[in-house]
Structure 1
Amino acid sequence: MYSTVFPEIVTYKLRLTPDGNEYVMKNGILSVINEHMARKFCNDFSGSVDIKEAEEIPPILTREVFESQLQKIEARTIKVSDVEVIDDKSIGDTATYIEDVVSGDAVVCGKITEIVEKESKNGKPYFLIRIDDTTGRLSGLYFTKKYSVEKIKQLKADDDIIARGKMGEYNGRPSFTFDKINRCVFPTDFVKKPKFKKKAPFEYSTVFPEPASTIKVKSVFDTDSALPEELTSTDYVVFDIETTGLDVIPDSVTEIGTDIFDGCTNIRATYKGKTYSYAERLELYRAIDSNYQDLPAHL
C-alpha cells in the first residue's frame, strides 16, 4: 500500500491480485478502511486499487508420484505365543526387536539370560534382568509390585518373557526399566528380518566413476611427493559427512562439508553454506597459526 497526502484528504492505493481486488470490491473493504482511518487520524481518506499480476506458484511436486515409489518404514517385530499374565494382559503378544529399541517406551521380548534379586536401601526387593531376543541383548531393573512379586521370583534363566518398559541411559550406557512383565513362548522359527534400507529418490541415476589410485592421507599432505594423475588432471568433489550414527532410522546427517578440486590447482571449500576461496582459506589457517606461511599446492 502507498499513499499521497493532500491538505484535507489522504489517498492511498492497495496493490492486489485480481482475486484480492474482487474480494475487496465485493465486500466494501475500501469504505471500511476509509472510515477506520478517519476515526484514528484528523483527515479524510480515499482508497483505490492497483491490480498486479498474480504470481505463479510452482507446484510442490514437479512430476507425478506413484504409490509404488513411496517407501514405508515398517517396524520389525516379534510375535510371541502362550502369553501368561503376571503384570498386565494389555502388553499383548507383539514386541519390537531389541536391536531397534533406541529410546523411549517399548515392548520387548526374549529369553532371560540372567535374573538376580536385589534389595533397595529401604528393604524392598527389585530384580536385575537380562534378556536376549537373538537381535540384541538388553538389561535393566524391575521394581516389584505386591500383587506380582511372588510370580516374578519364580522366573529363572531360559524362561521367555514379554515386557513393557522404557529405554534410557545409566552411566553412559543404554538401560531398560521393566514396568510390566508377562511370561510367553518365544517363536522357535523366528528369522530376523533385514534392516530397512532407504532407497535413493527415483529421479536419481547410478553412476560408476573411473577407477582411481588409492590415495592415503599421508601422501595427500606430503609436499615432497607428487600426486597421481587421477587427482591432478581431474575435477572432483570430496565430501565430509558428519552423522549421529550409521542407522538409517534413528540417526541423521548433522553436517556436510565439501572440497571442490579443480585438478589440484584451484580449490574452493564450502563450510556451513559459505564458500571460501584459496586466499580466504589461507587466512583461516593463519588465524589458527600466525606462523603459517602458505598452503601446499594441493591444499
Structure 2
Amino acid sequence: MNHNRLLAYAHLLMAGGYLVFTLVGPWAKRGESYGVFSSDGGTGFGIIGFILAIILVIMAVMRLAGRSEVVRGLGVEQLTLIVGVAAWLNLICFIVGWLPIFEHGVGRRRGVPGTGWGVVGAYFTVSQIPLLLSPLTLGIPSPSKGIKSLSDSKRHAFSATTIICGVGLIAFPYLAWVTSGSIELSAFDGRNGNPTSGPRFGYLLFAIGVTLVISGLMRLRPKGLAEPGPNLLLSHCLLGAAVVALTMPLGIIISCLQRSGLDIGVGTWLTLASCLVLVGLVISENRTRNAVGV
C-alpha cells in the first residue's frame, strides 16, 4: 500500500470522525445540551459544519477511488485543504463569535454558554486534515503540468477585483452585523453592558481582507506574484480565504433566521456579497488556468 492510499484512509478516518462528532455530540450547553441543528446549539454554524463534513467525506472517497479532479481547475487535494481549513475555523468562529452573543443563566451563574463535547471532538479530528494530512499529500506528487499562465489583461482584472473584495472585508465588519431592537452591533463590538454582543469576527475578516489587498497589489506588478508551490497556486489560496470568510456571514444569517429577537445587519449582507464575488472570481481563474495542481 503506497503513501497516498494510507493518507487517503487517514483522511477518511478524520473526516468520518468529524462528521460523527458534529452530528452526535452537543454543540452548546445552556443548562441543557443542544445539538448541531438546534437554534440554541450549533444553529447556522452547525449546519455549515455538517455540510463541510459531508464534503470532506466525499473528498476522501474520491481520493480512494483514484479521482484527482473535482471540477475543471480544482483538484481533490486542493479542495480538501480549502474545506478542511474552513471547517476548522468555522468551529472557532462558533465558539468565539456566536456563543458569546447571548449570555445564559441568572445571578452568579450568568455567563457565556458552554461548549459541548461534540464541538471539541469535531475540532480535534477536522484540524488534522489541513494541519497534517493535506500538506503531506500536496507535497508527495511531482509538480503538475499543463497549468496555463494568465494574460496581463486578465491578471490585472483578477487582481483589481481581489483588491476591491479585500477592501470590503476590511470595511464591512465595522457596519452593523446583528441588531436587537434599537441595538446595532458590528463584528468588532463586545457586550459593553448590552444584553447581546457582536459576533467578534471583525479581526479575522480584517486580517483576511488585508492579505487579499496585499496579494492583489503584488499581482499587479509586471512579473506578478510567485505561486506558493507547484501544486498549490495563488488562486487556490484565494479560494480558501474566500470560503473561510464566507462561513462567517453565512453562519450569522442562518442563525439569525432560526432565532427570534436577533436581526441581520447590513454589514453581514455586504460581507456575504464580497465573499461570493471572490469565490466566483477565483473559480473563474482556476478554470482559465486549468489549475488542478495534483
TM-score of Structure 1 vs Structure 2, range by shorter chain: under 0.3
Structure richer in strand, relative to its length: 1
TM-score, normalising length: structure 2: 0.20
Structure richer in helix, relative to its length: 2
**Structure number with larger C-alpha Rg:** 1
Q: Which has the higher contact order (CA 8 A, sep 6+)?
A: 2
TM-score, normalising length: structure 1: 0.20
